[in-house]
Amino acid sequence: MNLALAPETLARWQFGITTVYHFLFVPLTISLATLTAILQTAWVRTNKEKYLKATRFWGKLFLINIAMGVVTGIVQEFQFGMNWSDYSRFVGDIFGAPLAFEALIAFFMESTFIGLWIFGRDKLPKKLHLATIWLVALGTVASAYFILAANSWMQHPVGYRLNEKTGRAEMTDFFGILFQNTALAQFFHTMTAAFLTGAAFMVGISAYHLLRKKHIPVMRSSLRLGLVTLVIAGLLTVISGDRLGKVMYEQQPMKMASAEALWETQAPAPFSVFSYGDVDKGHNKVAIEIPGVLSFLAHDNFYEAVPGINDTNAQLKEKYKDTVGLDDYRPNIPVAYWSFRWMIGFGMASFALGAVGLYLTRRRFWLAERLRTGEDERPRLALTRNRELSPRLGVWYWRLSALTLGFPLIANAWGWIFTETGRQPWVVYGVLPTASAVSPGVSQGEVLTSLLVFTALYAILAVIEVKLLVKYVKAGPPELTEADLNPPTRIGGDTGDGADDRPMAFSY
Amino acid sequence: MHLHDVWFVVIAVLWIGYFFLEGFDFGVGILTKLLARDRAERRVLINTIGPVWDGNEVWLLSAGGATFAAFPEWYATLFSGFYLPLLLILVCLIVRGVAFEYRAKRDGERWQRNWEHAIFWTSLVTAFLWGVAFANIVRGVKIDQHMEYVGSLGDLLNPYALLGGLLTLVLFTFHGAVFTALKTLGDIRTRARRLATGLGAATAVLALAFLLWTQAQRGGTASLVALLVAVVALLAAIGTNLAGREGWSFTFSGLTIVAAVAMLFLALFPDVMPSTLHPDWSLTVTNAASTPYTLKIMTWCAAFATPIVLLYQGWTYWVFRKRIGTQHLAPSGGH
């Protein structure tokens, strides 16, 4: 059969497309839930209208996103069984539990309280309504933990034994699986990247409005929240990325070597900035490198050796010759190499822009009195204590911020492409090759059908979603009504004159 | 009682919860064309389930997740075997969820009408397909000695399964009409009650035929008891609806779903997916189950989480207990 259209290849493409697509919405959902909750908390505590307006504005964008995240998430749970039934049989004893926990503990919380938050404005007292968005935020984070713990087991299987008779992996230590170092490192990195994503989104859209000098009080506060989050999350993403890199190096040396296109073992090992390789011949034609940095990424020092692709491949062949017996344990090297660079590049570009922005828009620190701005003024971009950025450059700062709001989304996508393709040829590292995981009973035609259906459907929905986002971004924060400013004091809504026929604050 | 038996019950309960709750969601979706006369009435219908449909759908995800964890072989055989029907269900659930959320986000006539079509068709197709899927599970399908489904798509579309699909379709629509009568005000409430009577009669005929057929194929004493409960509950739902006792009618239409789905699971036990090729090749609660260790962990989790979930989901229904009429619609929709 034509390899490009083999059911396994098609199933992998489908998993890749649906997962990357799903993960466009996930980090935004996670971070925007919390950021919206923070803004609503600010409103409850200060009673300032700008915070309520900001809550409504970001909340709306959050809802447009979470809708897509939720529906594309259903596919994720189903397609293990649909396309990877042999995988499901093999790992169900272990992998199913976190998935079930995710549904029972996290999804229920998220989905139930989101309904209460959307429709509950005129039904719940102020603080109770605030509690619902915090519970949604908690649900999104809990959900992320469970699914990342499950994924971590595929990266680094622990707490199990192989049952020779049934040929299945069986769980022996649930908490060992749930809290292994891979899971903690992945969770830390994914969470910080998620907040980087939501923060860049918030900064970008605030900058878009501030560039036009519109909705200044709301956008000013949002920009500030966004920039602070962006810088903190950016820093933590670097730290967590470094931690995860070391875990990965220990557990999957091949992935680290591939990320660097490091063909031969080297000491000290350099970090490759750019290279152009010859995959078949196993070496690079061109390479620009920073000496010692890869050693640091792997070992925390600048001199120790890092094993190369060729040596690692030989070792793995020797190690698995009697069990799995594959011919080649290399992932797709160019994909691993470039995805690693795109991930870091796009993520860090966003972080840098945030750091610059936080400095330029500072409120008091090292800033002359005349450059300080009030709540309804656009922040001035101050280069030094007394000097502003030239207007032309200033415009470019706002523009760049708006234009790069999607950078972390790109970084996230490459991050997952890196870590999942970099694990190949394994689906469960060192235990189950991907080729043995696919559903044997599902035909080529069936996978091709679903691949095309999902791709087409997702493409159409993407267009619809982006158009809606643009519409609501442009519209800016809504005007508040009397009812908005005076939430009910009783659960179920206030009673009294005409309360029975009063329109809902929100309806579909 | 072994833990795998417990988990068979838990999974049955999750499916029962799903069909009870999303049953009326599907019904309401179908009624947007069957009952509503204009956009305002369609909006009333959609808003009766607005705050809850998403939470209701998680029952499905929990059932799926629990099946994966407790009976991996069942999950693998079922989901890969029923590939194309599940694909269609997934597409419907995706479009349906987006339709609820996005319909009111723009004012355009065409925009809103298209999403309303989507709500109707996706609700209808999914309500039908779940019946087809469950009928096939109970009846048994072609499963070989390696637990692989070896039948074709055509095999799944047998008369018994199609009757099952028709039953869930009409039963959910009935359940939705009863729910609408309970949750709305004004003219639409009266018409919902009237429509429910006709739907109830149609459900009774289909239910009797399908459940008796099931009983004749695989039934035992326990499933017979559930069958009788389902039939009595259905008659009570029809009767109380005629008498205008909306709360009772909804209770009984819900009980009908509970008993009917319970009957299917009772008829199934101890198999989880019988093979029509050879009895030894059937998937059972023992050969499809996870290890006792996994089941024990899962039991703890379920015992801890389920009561809390029931509590806050129940509370949500209480918060949104008020009936809705056209006068309650927010003028600008979801802006």
Between CA A291 and CA B262 the distance in angstroms is 67
CATH number, domain with residue B83: 1.20.1630.10
Give the residue carrying structure tokens 């995800």: B61
- The yes-or-no verdict on residue A176 having pLDDT over 90 is yes
What is the pTM assigned to this prediction? 0.96
Write down the ipTM of this complex: 0.96
Domain boundaries, given as residue ranges, for chain A: 26-265+307-477
For chain B, the domain total comes to 1
Taking CA–CA distances from A118, the nearest residue in chain B reads: B51
How large is the average pLDDT for residues B186-204? Answer: 97
How large is the average pLDDT for residues A260-264? Answer: 90
Residue B333 forms part of a structural domain? no
Indicate the residue of A72, A440, A492 with minimum beta-carbon distance to B321. Answer: A492
Q: What is the pLDDT, as a whole number, of residue A267?
A: 87
Q: What is the pLDDT, as a whole number, of residue A404?
A: 93
Between CA A190 and CA A140 the distance in angstroms is 12
Indicate the residue of B50, B87, B95 with minimum beta-carbon distance to A119. Answer: B50
Longest dimension (CA), chain B: 62
Between CA B20 and CA B24 the distance in angstroms is 7
Is the peptide bond prior to A270 cis by the omega test (within 30 degrees of 0)?
no
> Measured between CA atoms, how close is B45 to chain A, in angstroms?
10
- With a CB-CB cutoff of 8 Å, which residues 2-61 of chain B face chain A? 43, 46-47, 50-55, 57-58, 60-61
Between CA A318 and CA A327 the distance in angstroms is 10
Taking CA–CA distances from A491, the nearest residue in chain B reads: B319
Give the residue carrying structure tokens 């779940």: B130
Residues 6+ apart with CB under 8 A from B299: B3, B6, B7
Between CA B33 and CA B44 the distance in angstroms is 13
Between CA B296 and CA B70 the distance in angstroms is 10
How big is the A-B interface in CB pairs under 8 Å?
258
Residue B127 forms part of a structural domain? yes
- With a CB-CB cutoff of 8 Å, which residues 105-124 of chain B face chain A? 105-106
Q: What is the pLDDT, as a whole number, of residue A280?
A: 64
Q: What is the pLDDT, as a whole number, of residue B274?
A: 97
Q: What is the pLDDT of residues B2-43, one digit of tens each?
A: 999 999 999 999 999 999 999 999 999 999 999 999 999 999
Q: What is the pLDDT of residues A490-508, one digit of tens each?
A: 998 888 777 788 888 899 9
Between CA A136 and CA A116 the distance in angstroms is 10
Taking CA–CA distances from A449, the nearest residue in chain B reads: B84
Q: Do A502 and B328 touch (CB under 8 A)?
A: yes
Residue B331 forms part of a structural domain? no
- The yes-or-no verdict on residue A2 having pLDDT over 80 is no
DSSP annotation of A479 reads P
Spatial CA neighbour of A180 closest among A94, A255, A265: A94
- The yes-or-no verdict on residue A1 having pLDDT over 60 is no
> Taking all residues of chain A, what is their mean pLDDT, rounded to a whole number?
94
Looking at chain A, the whole-number percentage of residues with pLDDT higher than 90 is 83
Q: How confident is the model at residue A5 (pLDDT cuts 50, 70, 90)?
A: confident
Residue B272 forms part of a structural domain? yes
Residues 6+ apart with CB under 8 A from B27: B123, B127, B172, B173, B174, B175, B176, B177, B179, B180
Q: What is the pLDDT, as a whole number, of residue B333?
A: 52
Q: Are B196 and B214 in contact (CB under 8 A)?
A: no
Concatenating the DSSP letter of every residue in A494-505 gives --STTGGGPPPS
Identify the burial level of A494 via C-beta atoms within 10 angstroms of its C-beta, where 0-12 means exposed, 13-18 middle and 19 or more buried.
middle
* Segment among A258-267, B34-43, B201-210, B310-319 with least mean pLDDT: A258-267
Indicate the residue of A82, A171, A503 with minimum beta-carbon distance to B331. Answer: A503
Q: What is the pLDDT, as a whole number, of residue A278?
A: 72
- With a CB-CB cutoff of 8 Å, which residues 401-430 of chain A face chain B? none
Spatial CA neighbour of B61 closest among A17, A75, A29: A75
Number of H helices, E strands in chain A: 16, 6
Q: Where are the alpha helices (DSSP H) in A432-475?
A: 444-475
Between CA A393 and CA A405 the distance in angstroms is 19
End-to-end CA distance of chain B: 53
Between CA B78 and CA B73 the distance in angstroms is 8
Indicate the residue of B64, B97, B312 with minimum beta-carbon distance to A67. Answer: B97
Q: Are A360 and A389 in contact (CB under 8 A)?
A: yes
Q: Does A492 touch chain B (CB under 8 A)?
A: yes
Q: What is the pLDDT, as a whole number, of residue A274?
A: 82
Identify the burial level of B245 via C-beta atoms within 10 angstroms of its C-beta, where 0-12 means exposed, 13-18 middle and 19 or more buried.
middle
**Which residues in B lie closer than 8 A to residue A493 (C-beta atoms)?**
322
Residue B334 forms part of a structural domain? no
Give the residue carrying structure tokens 């995805």: A339
Identify the burial level of A149 via C-beta atoms within 10 angstroms of its C-beta, where 0-12 means exposed, 13-18 middle and 19 or more buried.
buried
> Measured between CA atoms, how close is A465 to chain B, in angstroms?
9
Residue B335 forms part of a structural domain? no
Residue of B105, B143, B148, B183 to mutate when probing chain A, most A C-beta within 10 A? B105
Identify the burial level of A171 via C-beta atoms within 10 angstroms of its C-beta, where 0-12 means exposed, 13-18 middle and 19 or more buried.
buried
Coil, strand or helix: which one is A161?
Answer: strand
Residue of B77, B98, B306 to mutate when probing chain A, most A C-beta within 10 A? B98
Please give the backbone phi and psi of residue A7, each rounded to the nearest 5 degrees, phi first. -50, -35
Spatial CA neighbour of A38 closest among A200, A228, A236: A228
Between CA B93 and CA A472 the distance in angstroms is 25
Q: Does B305 touch chain A (CB under 8 A)?
A: yes
Residues 6+ apart with CB under 8 A from A36: A55, A58, A59, A62, A133
Integer angstrom CA distances of residue A364 from A231, A270, A361: 18, 42, 9
Integer angstrom CA distances of residue B85 from A305, A357, B79: 53, 51, 10
Between CA B8 and CA B21 the distance in angstroms is 20
Q: What is the pLDDT of residues A337-346, one digit of tens each?
A: 999 999 999 9
Check the CA dihedral A85-A86-A89-A93 and report its sign.
Answer: negative
Q: Does A78 touch chain B (CB under 8 A)?
A: yes
**Which residues in B lie closer than 8 A to residue A119 (C-beta atoms)?**
50-51, 320
Spatial CA neighbour of B263 closest among B208, B318, B302: B208
How large is the average pLDDT for residues B76-94? Answer: 98
Q: Do A92 and B57 touch (CB under 8 A)?
A: no
Q: Does B307 touch chain A (CB under 8 A)?
A: no
- With a CB-CB cutoff of 8 Å, which residues 431-450 of chain A face chain B? 439-442, 446, 449-450
**Which residues in B lie closer than 8 A to residue A502 (C-beta atoms)?**
328
Taking CA–CA distances from A67, the nearest residue in chain B reads: B98
Residue of B88, B119, B283, B291 to mutate when probing chain A, most A C-beta within 10 A? B291
Q: How confident is the model at residue B335 (pLDDT cuts 50, 70, 90)?
A: low
Who has greater pLDDT, B18 or B332? B18
Indicate the residue of B298, B319, B329 with minimum beta-carbon distance to A116. Answer: B319
How large is the average pLDDT for residues B275-280? Answer: 96
Is the peptide bond prior to B270 cis by the omega test (within 30 degrees of 0)?
yes
Q: Which residue range is the domain that position B105 belongs to?
A: 3-326
Q: Are A128 and A491 in contact (CB under 8 A)?
A: yes
Integer angstrom CA distances of residue A163 from A91, A173, A322, B193, B293: 11, 15, 17, 57, 14
Integer angstrom CA distances of residue B52 from A26, A108, B147, B312: 21, 11, 37, 11
> Measured between CA atoms, how close is A310 to chain B, in angstroms?
37
DSSP annotation of A406 reads T
Spatial CA neighbour of A219 closest among A9, A379, A20: A379
Q: Does A464 touch chain B (CB under 8 A)?
A: yes
Q: What is the pLDDT, as a whole number, of residue A4?
A: 75
Q: Are B47 and B329 in contact (CB under 8 A)?
A: yes
Q: What is the pLDDT, as a whole number, of residue A496?
A: 76
Spatial CA neighbour of A97 closest among A172, A189, A182, A161: A172
* Cα angle for residues A229, A234, A237 (degrees, 5° grid): 125
> Measured between CA atoms, how close is A293 to chain B, in angstroms?
43
How large is the average pLDDT for residues A3-20? Answer: 92
Spatial CA neighbour of A62 closest among A458, A394, A473, A481: A473
Q: Do B149 and A112 touch (CB under 8 A)?
A: no
Q: Does A342 touch chain B (CB under 8 A)?
A: no
Taking CA–CA distances from B105, the nearest residue in chain A reads: A468
DSSP annotation of A282 reads T
